[in-house]
Amino acid sequence: MINDSASREIIQDLQGAFIPNEAFSELQSLFETLFEQRRADLAQGRLTNVRSIALVGGSGSGKSTLIRHLCSLREDLIVSDDGICEFVSQLVPSPATMKFVGTAILHALGYPLARDKSAPVIWGMVADQLHRRRTLFLHLDEAQDLARFQTDRERQSVVNTLKSMMENRTWPVSLILSGTPDLKKIINQDPQLARRIYPVEIPRLSVPRHVRAVVSLTQQYAKRGTLSQQPELANEEFARRLLHAGDYEFGLVAEIIVQAICHALRARGPGDRLELDDFRRAYKLRTGAIMGLNPFVVEDFERINVRLVLEDIR
């Protein structure tokens, strides 16, 4: 096993690498438009109703990575400061009651509650803190959980709360809601909310549409990892196996590629060759599945449920 500084630096670079896709380009364009418009309005002393963004994709599609990279590209965006905090990100807690969500946002804003309060009081405090911190964007990750196990009345309460944040007369805030396709149920529950949200969807990958893209993605990562490629990694058969191993989600496919390259670097060092066996080992490492249930080994790989871990023939 190789553990030299050159390999460690390349691995660290790969693990932090980001290769944009079509969804990210759309997300970035919308975010830049909203950000610049809000700053222009503030410079003129105007407080107008704001718009928001919903980023929808399956589990493993790479939603969180897109949001993190989006923020990192905007160097003038104040993400954390003792006073101003233009962008706040919060994972929706479980259980996702309005009290718990509001309390979590207050903690993210650096204002922990000293005692229990009612949901309306908590959300009033959230609005006040967003104003005090000059927050422009509130990101709620796993936002589909806001409506999970809720009654119609409770879901409407969620919708009303989201709308009130965008329509606040003192300090409106743009929302970035990221979540699985169930998030659409919240947005479509109220036509007024739906009209105020720009949707961006990360589509599932498919065969044959994304075969060439996956081959190209593997080549880009391998080149960044200073590795050449086994010829088999450029054919359609390999791409189909990789797509299935990543459950046709962009983020998971990219993860497997990076893990395979990291294995090759640790095993053989920079300048060597990326091989199919590196993908076999990467899949085994992430799932614990036996080789008989490894999409990079068996012939009928499409029968394998790649979301299961520690799976065996039984």
pLDDT band of residue 78 (cuts 50, 70, 90) is confident
pLDDT at position 312:
66
Same-domain status, 108 and 142: yes
What is the helix (H) or strand (E) element at residue 55, kind and residue range?
A: strand 52-57
The region of weakest confidence among 107-121, 160-174, 180-194, 208-222 is 107-121
In the chain, the number of structural domains is 2
- Final residue of a structural domain among 168, 202, 236: 202
Expressed as residue numbers, the domain containing 97 is 22-202
Let me know if residue 123 belongs to a domain.
Answer: yes
Same-domain status, 138 and 220: no
Let me know if residue 297 belongs to a domain.
Answer: yes
pLDDT at position 1:
65
Same-domain status, 57 and 96: yes
Q: Are 218 and 190 in contact (CB under 8 A)?
A: no
- Which has more confidence, 149 or 214? 214
Arithmetic mean of pLDDT over the chain: 92
Q: Which residues contact 134 (CB under 8 A, 6 or more apart)?
A: 83, 84, 85, 86
Same-domain status, 236 and 261: yes
List % helix, strand, coil for the chain (3-state, nearest 5). 55, 10, 35
Sign, Cα dihedral of 199, 205, 207, 211: positive
The single-letter code of the amino acid at 4 is D
CATH number at 156 reads 3.40.50.300
Let me know if residue 298 belongs to a domain.
Answer: yes
Running DSSP on this structure, what letter comes out for residue 91? Answer: E
pTM: 0.91
Among left, alpha and beta (phi > 0; psi -120 to 50; other), residue 141 is beta
pLDDT at position 233:
97
**Rounded CA gap, 156 and 185, in Å?**
11
